[in-house]
Amino acid sequence: MSGEHLNITLKIWRQNSPNDNGQFEEFKVSISPDASILEMLDELNNNLEREGKRPVAFESDCREGICGTCGIVINGHPHGPLPKTATCQLHMRNFKDGDVIYLEPFRAAAFPIIRDLIVDRSAFDKIQQAGGYISFNTGGAPDANTIPIGKDVAAEALDAAECIGCGACVAACKNSSAMLFVGAKVSQYALLPQGQPERYKRVQTMVAAMDEAGFGSCTNTYACEAECPKGISIMNIARMNRDFIKSKIVEQEVDI
Amino acid sequence: MKLESKVPEGNIAEKWTNHKFKMKLVNPANKRKYDLIVVGTGLAGASAAATLGELGYQVKVFTYHDSSRRAHSIAAQGGINAAKNYQNDGDSVFRLFYDTVKGGDFRSREANVYRLAEVSNNIIDQCVAQGVPFAREYGGLLANRSFGGAQVSRTFYARGETGQQLLLGAYSSLNRQIKNGNVKVYHRREMLDLVIVNGRAQGIIVRNLLTGELERYSAQAVILATGGYSNVYFLSTNAMNSNATAAWRAHKRGAFFANPSFTQIHPTCLPVHGEAQSKLVLMSESLRNDGRIWVPKKAGDNRPPNEIPEDERDYYLERKYPAFGNLVPRDVASRNAKYVCDEGRGVNGERAVYLDFSDAIKRVGKKVIEEKYGNLFDMYQNITGENPYEVPMKIYPAPHYTMGGLWVDYNLMSNIPGLFVLGEANFSDHGANRLGASALMQGLADGYFVIPYTIGNYLASEKPEKVDTERSEFNDAEQNVKDIIAKLLSVNGKQTVDEIHKRLGHILMDKVGMSRSEKGLKEAINQIRELREEFWNDVKVVGTGEELNQTLERAGRVADFLELGELMAVDALNRNESCGAHFREEYQTEDGEALRNDEEYAYVAAWEFKKVSEWELHKEDLKFEYVKLATRSYK
């Protein structure tokens, strides 16, 4: 599988701590096209460590595109130029010898930079804690097949539930909106029968937490969907908006 | 010290029910007086923390991730087993129990496995109620698929993302408890020592990974759910950060480590492509439902796969194991891949075999295959640049799961009172080989349905008095951590942490991997000792301890791997038999199958740490009353 090495110029955002001014630093690397972009950074860091220099701080974990830990803006695109691909799955064969690659953190007011390419995405957890669940204690569940769910409905719910919580949607959005992330969770439960009892309360508490965390509004540019590594559809935003409006009516009738 | 498994009396089908009745309870009003520590937020940790919070305990849960949703359970692909028998194909709790004991090659504890099978059905109910979108049939009922080592269809799934969906379910329950105030979550904290007060586990020392500060936390009990140690091999399917440090530091404080040599090398992973590679990628075992595994009959046949005619292909698993075919258990599939590659029949002479979907695509059409495995095929193409709908996948085994782990009794408590161990971090349910789709089952069984009962029994005899973190035991443990960090930073040698880790991985993969021998294991022990010496004299860790320092984090983990790796070899050398994933070349049948020695080795090897390179072996004898000891046959 291996071929000629590629010579790449990297311009990487370096920022020591949240309040420092950052700047780009340039590195030259030679890398196998079979390596992933993060493996290229591993190699760069290994060389920096050997020279006693501070390695580039970046995060990753599963390297299979599912944990949502990694996230770098690569040449202006969160997770890079390929559609439906997380940073860890982007392989160097997608670049050419002599390319210049800019690597930057996910930028948003709600995601403060911690160091270099690492940002603080704890705002996402706060939104989930506000209502991203079905209130149900372990132990009391009925037999799983007592709740039939259509194959297509389950698939649609799973399409929404596949969100990996990486934050690329926020980084892609000119308003730093988190509505794709929130809409995906709201939709998963709104589509399923198990989610109905708390449907309208959930959308209200999650949207309130989203606003409080400092994310912007949606102005329908669709950038989030275009950059989402899981291809989460903006239909989920529409569904959330619809439920949110409906919840204002519902709350007139019953106490949600 | 004698190991007591504390398996309850009575018929196996009644043990858990009787035990639940006999165990002591903590009064609902008193539960809030107890502090509990949970380390890890994977399936086991998150489900335990959430459920204990629901019961009213005050839970502190720790993860080194930036969010508890990122634990490596999230990457599990294929599915989760349960004995629902929704397919009417003859499944039952007893059959799931039987398959799991047999699949583990008779080196697990019967009573634990039975309980696992028993609660498996509750897990599916629980997850559906939480809103986990499992795959469905057109009529709206749950769908199942088949997995290795079973002749019934009992695996529930959500595309190739079952682990993600189950973990996000547990994460949602955890979030609810965080909001309710019963659980407090501590992100970006790595546990670096266990604190024992009056012989009981009552606290931990963690490093705040953002600031480098060491922090102390106390509780009436500590629950470790910190996963497995496949990353000891450097290249594995585990996430980059998965490590053994929390379990290993507990081991050095007295917790016995059981069956460390039982490591699963998963048959369907992508082959190694080069030295820059950071991890190996798993392709779900579910692919073996429809993919056929083959290599050319002749060594040196380097024609492209589509040009090799049918009669010049060796579908070696179907040939050797007609009853199970491509769905033999993982250890058998992996070992056979190694054999054909050792014979020079690997793809292009390399260490790879074909996993071919062309027959399945002909049979059911591309669309059906895409529906079942689409995301896995995409992932394959993404990584290799080849289209698996047209060209067979190339696969090779990779370290994936560790059956070994900290020793626990039936209540999931280690030999240290108050220290409980759940999920992959313990040793208890999979014997010498884990069957596919059983890891998710065990993690959630331990967390949702076992620990909430057994911890109550322990706490009922413990006074809920706050443990002062200014006690000398906390000072000592913190000093121990400080010393390790200072030592790592002071070596200032020439080799990087990764360079040494890779060398450890090569030794282990070569000599403590799919095939082991007395000679190789003795060499491995010496080589690991030398490498450890080299590490402490020549490692280079840049930066300081008082800041975010990812190199320092990895250095601490590799330091522990260098001790654990030796114990794996010691354990493998002690076990003069072949069983499951532990294959000793000296002990095999005429046709190359594992040859167990039940007379002498039907025991759990639990190792007590004395000092570095010195352990004392304790044995827990295994009795098989319900599954008759027999040579596994998948023919």
Chain B residues within an 8 Å CB radius of A52: 540, 542
- In chain B, residues 64-93 whose CB comes closer than 8 Å to chain A: 65-70, 72, 74-75, 84, 86
B382 touches chain A (CB under 8 A): yes
B243 → chain A, closest CA residue? A61
Chain A residues within an 8 Å CB radius of B141: 145, 148
**pLDDT tens-digit series, residues A143-185:** 999 999 999 999 999 999 999 999 999 999 999 999 999 999 9
Contacts of A79-84 with C-beta under 8 Å, sequence gap 24+, read A79/A166, A79/A168, A79/A227, A79/A229, A80/A37, A83/A226, A83/A231, A84/A228, A84/A229, A84/A230, A84/A231, A84/B378
Q: Of A54, A63, A122, which has the smallest distance from its Cβ to B543's Cβ?
A: A54
HSE at residue B74, side-chain half, CA atoms within 13 A, is 28
Q: Of B69, B161, B551, which has the smallest distance from its Cβ to A49's Cβ?
A: B551
pLDDT at B430: 98
Contacts for B469 with CB less than 8 Å, ≥ 6 apart: B203, B216, B217, B218
Q: Give the whole-angstrom CA distance, residue B308 versus residue B316.
A: 15
- In chain B, residues 468-507 whose CB comes closer than 8 Å to chain A: 494, 496-499
Nearest one of B281, B303, B37 to A38, comparing CA atoms? B281
Does residue B256 register a pLDDT over 90?
Answer: yes
The torsion defined by the Cα of B1, B7, B8 and B14, in degrees rounded to 10, comes to 180
Query: Does residue B179 sit in helix, strand or coil?
Result: helix
**pLDDT tens-digit series, residues A55-88:** 999 999 999 999 999 999 999 999 999 999 999 9
Mutate to test the interface with A, among B236, B278, B283, B396 (most CBs of A within 10 A): B278
Q: Of B130, B165, B276, which has the smallest distance from its Cβ to A134's Cβ?
A: B130
Please identify which residue in the block is written with the tokens 């990779």. B398
**pLDDT tens-digit series, residues B45-87:** 999 999 999 999 999 999 999 999 999 999 998 899 999 999 9
pLDDT at B631: 84
Which pTM was predicted?
Answer: 0.97
CB contact under 8 A, A32 and B276: yes
Mean pLDDT of chain A: 96
Does residue B179 register a pLDDT over 90?
Answer: yes
pLDDT at B83: 98
ipTM of the complex: 0.98
Chain B residues within an 8 Å CB radius of A56: none
Chain A residues within an 8 Å CB radius of B498: 42, 46
Q: Name the percent of chain B lying above pLDDT 70.
A: 100
A41 → chain B, closest CA residue? B276
Are the C-beta atoms of B50 and B170 separated by less than 8 Å? yes
Range A176-199 average pLDDT:
98
CB contact under 8 A, B67 and A31: no
Does residue A1 register a pLDDT over 80?
Answer: no
Relative to beta strand A6-14, strand A100-104 is parallel
CB pairs under 8 A between A and B: 225
pLDDT band at A2 (very low <50, low <70, confident <90, very high): very low
pLDDT at B1: 76
Mean pLDDT of chain B: 96
Chain B residues within an 8 Å CB radius of A133: 130, 172-173, 175-176
**pLDDT tens-digit series, residues B189-227:** 999 999 999 999 999 999 999 999 999 999 999 999 999
**pLDDT tens-digit series, residues B276-331:** 899 999 888 889 989 999 999 999 999 999 999 999 999 999 999 999 999 998 99
Range A207-221 average pLDDT:
97
Mutate to test the interface with B, among A54, A62, A114, A124 (most CBs of B within 10 A): A62
CB contact under 8 A, A52 and B141: no
Beta-carbon neighbour count of residue B626 at 10 Å? Answer: 16
pLDDT at B286: 84
